[in-house]
Chain A
Amino acid sequence: MNNILVFPMVLPIIAGVLLLFFRSNPKVQRWGSILTMVVVFLISLWILEKVMDEGILRLDFGEWAPPFGITFVADAFAMLLVTTSSLVTILCLLYAAFAKDEKREKFFLYPFLLLLIAGVNGAFLTGDLFNLFVCFEVMLLASYVLMTLGGEKKQLTEGIKYILINILSSWFFLLGIAYLYGTLGTLNMAHLSQRIAEVGQPPLLTTISILFLIVFSLKAGLVLYFWLPGSYEALPTAISALFAALLTKVGVYALFRSFTLLFYHEPSITHTIIGVMAMITMIGGSIGAIAYKDVRKIVAYNVIIAIGFILVGLASNNVESIQGSIYYLVHDILVKGLLFLMVGTVIYLTGKTRFDQVSGLITNYPLFGWIFLITLLSLGGIPPFSGFAGKLLIGKGALVAGEYVMVAVAFLSSLFVLYSLLRIFLNMFWGETSILKKNQIYLSKGMLASCLILAMLTIGLGLGMSVVSPYVAEAANVLTNPNLYIEGALNND
């Protein structure tokens, strides 16, 4: 019994509800939510350490032993993601606290942000498929509200599309759960894994696995990403950064969990499909990233490319590539948050959304400009920064698996990432300044600070590889040996 496991999910909910009572006091809202997330971050760091010492931890809700009750299972993979996402949330909240969007703050911006985090953390931690659905829904409901908060026309019309797509994908999720329960009679993930291994994944189960593939692809933006650019574009900066950092990653997490723990017996079918989907995603994302001049569209397509890249690791399906994917996932959560904060800030400072309308920002905001350079180098996977190790390991793993085409597409897509962002950098930051010194909008230190901290983190993650590598190795170890997870999630002692 490890009651501590429930805190990353419950603390944000409690804090969010308490903040509802302080509607008229934005200071309490801002700092209260940041304080909560700091506590959640410290707790999840502590759990991560404990997982490293004692192996997989489990909490049975209401003391119902598995496989009957709902369980939270914390392995290194889940905890790594919980810790990283809490960290990014702190910084996005910090940004929001200084952006002072009072119209939205009055309408419960922070409570819903906290609810979103509760859903995300719950989805990472849960060991039960139906509970995963519930956590997805908590997260999605919060995201619907955040999506439409403020009620601008564009937000509303994009919100309708976003909600409709997600209602459909939730429907498919329930369909998959119903079929799986009908065939296997259980929904506990470890128990499911055991039963699937017993029958050796016949074609019926493989078909059901494709259903789950569709659901999680919709959430992750794998091939089915048509909804993503439009909806991310309509959001205010801090929220869009959180969405880009977390929402798609939860889908990626679910893909990894289900295709390493449950449906891993027919890799020639499922993992091949994932590989093809990853390639299509990267190609489509690359085309999108260079097709537009609107910076928000470009960065939204960058999210999509990264999803494809991470899934290459899953498609190759060996220890090295999965390690690479975990590195890249952690890196991507941090750096996509940073990228969206940067781009949102650029739009806030200039009021323009197309990169050919502004130039020479680096003379107005030198530090800000250099942070942007770091961001784009990190995204491109240039060595001292955090993207490098993940890219290297995914590439190596895919080569070992003999997926040469996939490797080629993956690294070409990295070039497109670099090119599309370099275009923004060269046009917007380089060249003659288009804003006179006296006209420039003051960039508050708090907003700059959250970008700076994230940029430091990506450098730190790149240089401090050796600190993170034991955690990643342990996470990949559990993912590639489902028996470890089953042992941890089902043993009754």
Chain B
Amino acid sequence: MRENDIILQTVSKVAVFIILTFGVYLFLSGHHNPGGGFIGGLTLSSAFVLLYIAFDVESVNAGIPLNYKMVAAVGVLIAICTGMGSLLFGSAFLSQSSAYFNLPVFGKTGFATVTLFESGVALGVVGVVITIMVSISEDV
């Protein structure tokens, strides 16, 4: 039975983008301020969860055809491989470095290898959270 949640659906269409943007902001600000991969990932996945609540599982899955288990796997793989990457440069496991670049639009931009690691964490969190949510809700 489908209920007509017109208000929830209309609001969440807008809110999802706000939450996604906020998630990306939290993810990027994690280098010096509260935030980071885990928190950003949780916020990102809450946007997806909102979609699942507002619409039904089938139509969201049709719209975003991702296998979330694989998203989690890719995330973990990225996180570990960036940790292993430091081995190539002869430094210890999980070592990091950062540098500043002059990008055309953004000006002087800092970039740290931690961000790569954190992006793996974020993907992992998104994948795991949504896998859990969907597997609980599947047959309710």
The residues of A with any CB-CB pair to B shorter than 8 Å are 1, 3, 6, 10, 13-14, 17-18, 20-21, 59-63
Contact = CB atoms under 8 A, between A and B. Distances in A.
Given A1-B92, A10-B93, A62-B95, 13 more contacts: A3-B87, A6-B93, A10-B80, A14-B84, A17-B76, A17-B77, A20-B69, A20-B73, A59-B92, A61-B93, A61-B94, A62-B92, A62-B96
B70 interface: yes
Contacts of B87: 3
B78 to A, nearest CB: 10
A63 B93 CA distance: 8
B77 A1 contact: no
Contacts of B77: 14, 17-18
Nearest to B81: A14
A62 B87 CA distance: 10
B91 interface: yes
Given A20-B69, A21-B73, A63 B80 contact: no
Given A17-B73, A18-B77, A63 B84 contact: no
Contacts of A6: 93
B83 interface: yes
Given A20-B69, A21-B70, A13 B93 contact: no
B94 A62 contact: yes
A63 B73 contact: no
Interface of B: 69-70, 73, 76-77, 80-81, 83-84, 86-87, 91-96
Given A20-B69, A21-B70, A63 B91 contact: yes
Contacts of A17: 73, 76-77, 80
Contacts of A13: 76, 80
A60 B92 contact: yes
A20 B92 CA distance: 27
30 contacts: A1-B92, A3-B87, A3-B92, A6-B93, A10-B80, A10-B83, A10-B84, A10-B93, A13-B76, A14-B77, A14-B80, A14-B81, A14-B84, A17-B73, A17-B76, A17-B77, A20-B69, A20-B73, A21-B70, A21-B73, A59-B92, A59-B93, A60-B92, A61-B92, A61-B93, A62-B86, A62-B92, A62-B94, A62-B95, A62-B96
Nearest to B69: A20
B108 to A, nearest CB: 25
B21 to A, nearest CB: 30
Contact of B92 (A14, A18, A63): A63
Nearest to A70: B94
A281 to B, nearest CB: 37
A21 B74 CA distance: 9
A249 B80 CA distance: 27
Residue among A13, A17, A59, A63 having the largest count of chain B Cβ atoms under 10 Å: A17
A3 B77 CA distance: 18
A308 B87 CA distance: 42
A3 B92 CA distance: 6
A18 B91 CA distance: 25
A1 B91 CA distance: 8
B35 to A, nearest CB: 20
A10 B85 CA distance: 13
Contacts of B91: 1, 63
Contacts of A60: 92
A74 to B, nearest CB: 13
Counting from the closest, the 3 A-B pairs by CB-CB distance are A20-B73, A62-B94, A6-B93
B53 to A, nearest CB: 27
A33 to B, nearest CB: 15
A320 to B, nearest CB: 37
A260 B75 CA distance: 39
B94 A20 contact: no
A61 B77 CA distance: 18
Contacts of B69: 20
A54 B92 CA distance: 19
Contacts of A14: 77, 80-81, 84
B75 to A, nearest CB: 9
A276 B91 CA distance: 47
A126 B86 CA distance: 20
Contacts of A3: 87, 92-93
Contacts of A10: 80, 83-84, 93
A189 B64 CA distance: 47
A474 to B, nearest CB: 25
B74 to A, nearest CB: 8
A6 B92 CA distance: 10
Contacts of B80: 10, 13-14, 17
